[in-house]
Amino acid sequence: MAQSAELGQVLTVLFMALALGMDAFSLGLGIGLKGIRLLDVLKISAVIALFHMFMPLAGMFMGKYMSSLLGGVAAAIGGGLLILLGGHMIYSSLRGEEVKSFDHGSLWGLLLFSLTVSMDAFSVGVSLGMFSSDLLLTVLTFGAFGGLMSIAGLLVGRRFGYWTGEYGEAIGGIILLVFGIKFLL
């Protein structure tokens, strides 16, 4: 029984990391479509990976604090946050927002882009903090998926200028929406 719960937790973290990584992929794809140097691909992806580790970590600590204050209501709030977040990601992708231009060569542009890509990871971290979640597994998995999928998005976008990244964000939003509903049931 304990192994089943542990496997469920690992699968949940993997699917959430994939959902957040899809957002990084789609935004990376948009940047890659504009043309990007390989050195910048590595630099941007490394910073995104760090933000995908730091933001959910900060969110998890906030979620654990909220959980201790709210008790049993915490699971419903966490599920609701995931539903809102997933719905927002789907809405944004359907609206067709393009990735805004930024100077990825500057420190501020790189940090601002990485923060923007990783804001969803903070919200997911808050939700996960309300549940019992393995901190190290979650943070490392989110960072790995965020970094690897941003590399993939940047490289695919660099290679194929005809693709768009809006579908990756929609798929990520659907995954978060499904997990939010699962937490509410």
pLDDT tens string, the chain, 185 residues long: the values are: 557 667 877 888 888 888 888 878 877 776 776 667 888 889 989 999 998 899 888 887 877 776 666 655 656 766 777 788 778 777 777 776 554 445 666 788 777 777 767 777 777 777 776 666 677 888 899 999 999 999 998 898 777 654 444 566 666 667 667 777 876 77
Residue 122 has a pLDDT of 77
How far is residue 13's CA from residue 5's CA, in Å, rounded to a whole number?
Answer: 12
Q: Tokens 């940090």 correspond to what residue?
A: 111
Residue 39 within any structural domain of the chain: yes
Residue 168 within any structural domain of the chain: yes
Tokens coding 121:
């990871």
Kind and range of the H or E run holding 165: none
Closest CA to 171 of 32, 13, 21: 21
DSSP 103-129: -TTSHHHHHHHHHHHHHHHHHHHHHHH
Residue 2 within any structural domain of the chain: no
Residue 80 within any structural domain of the chain: yes
Residue 5 within any structural domain of the chain: no
Record the pTM.
Answer: 0.67
Residue 50 has a pLDDT of 93
How far is residue 168's CA from residue 48's CA, in Å, rounded to a whole number?
Answer: 16
How far is residue 22's CA from residue 117's CA, in Å, rounded to a whole number?
Answer: 10
- How far is C-alpha 50 from the geometric centre of its chain's CA atoms? 12
Residue 62 has a pLDDT of 79
pLDDT in tens, 46-92: 999 998 899 888 887 877 776 666 655 656 766 777 788 778 777 77
Domain residues for the domain of 83 are 10-184
Round to the nearest angstrom and report the end-to-end CA distance of the chain.
20
Residue 1 within any structural domain of the chain: no
Residue 60 has a pLDDT of 78
Residue 81 within any structural domain of the chain: yes
Alpha helix segments (H runs only) across the chain: 2-33, 38-70, 73-95, 107-129, 135-159, 166-184
If one counts every other C-beta atom within 10 angstroms of the C-beta of residue 108, the result is: 9
Residue 3 within any structural domain of the chain: no
Residue 162 has a pLDDT of 47
Tokens coding 164:
């768009």
Q: How many domains does the chain have?
A: 1
Residue 68 has a pLDDT of 64
